Amino acid sequence: MHVSLNELTSLSRRALEGVGFPPGEFEDAADMIVWLEQFGLGGTKLLAKTLPRLTTEQWPAVQKLYDDGGGCVVLQIENGSLLQGGSLAADMACTRALADGLGVVRLSGCRDRGFILGYLARCARRGYHMTAMWCVGEPRRAIQNVATATGHPTLPTIRRYRADGGGEQMADTHTLTLIATRDFALMPARDPAANAFELLEEITPNELAARSRLAWDQGVDVDADLWSKLQALAAVKLVEATPESRARGAGETRQ
């Protein structure tokens, strides 16, 4: 199924609204999905994987487990999807960064963490330097994803590392760590001597911009089955037509 980005945005928003996402959240979640798709990072494939759970779960409560009153906060999302309000963790990091120079928020019990890429650029255009880190795979041989977005209206740099600690490190594969600052000097930097982190992939802002242009010019491909499922979810919010609604509801007859 070949679709325009606007079609994908519109249908994703309405489908998530149909699932029960509240106003504001269904737009943010859809925009994160579309952001990944627009930049060639597989947003709809990730969505296809998580959609069955999204449609059967209650909206997860986000609880604060720890707050040092300064720059450090730990939140718990009860194994919910990042799409279910997880972007607020990044907003929390920004808030603490503004107050204390550096904000570090760990969102534990969170799945679908890759979607956070779609929110980093929004934080960056508000003037924040952002770093997001999360590990996937087996805890003993995890891949660590690191994304950084610097504070101006541009695109993030995305890096993926193999976080292999010589078989001794147990990676936490259910937590997203977000670091925000308005001071570039406080951005975390990789130690060149840290051989345990092998750079697997790096996507530069230029590469992302080229992918984006392609998507705007040519549209994107979406799995037909996923598209049908999204249409069905969006249809939940549609009201069956009756002769009465056809005439009076749309104003064909004078009121």
Residues of this chain that bind other proteins (CB under 8 A): 2-7, 22-25, 27-28, 59, 62, 64, 75, 85, 88, 91-92, 94-95, 98-99, 122, 125-127, 216-219, 235-242, 244-246, 249-255
Question: Cβ closer to other proteins: 53 or 246?
Answer: 246
Measured CA angle at 117 (ends 113, 120), to 5 deg: 120
Least separation in angstroms between residue 241's CB and other proteins is 4
CB of 176 to other proteins, least distance (A): 15
For residue 177, the SS3 value is strand
Nearer to other proteins, 22 or 52 (CB): 22
Using the minimum distance from each CB to other proteins, give the nearer residue, 25 or 112. Answer: 25
What are the C-alpha distances in Å from 36 to residues 128, 158, 163? 20, 12, 23
Min dist CB 188 to other proteins, Å, is 21
Least CB distance to other proteins at residue 212 (A): 9
Write a three-state SS string for 85-135: CCHHHHHHHHHHHHHHCEEEEEEEEEECHHHHHHHHHHHHCCCCEEEEEEE
CA distances from residue 20 to 86, 113, 155, 199 in whole angstroms, order as listed = 16, 20, 30, 39
Q: Are 28 and 247 in contact (CB under 8 A)?
A: no
Nearer to other proteins, 94 or 110 (CB): 94
Min dist. Cβ of residue 235 to other proteins (A): 7
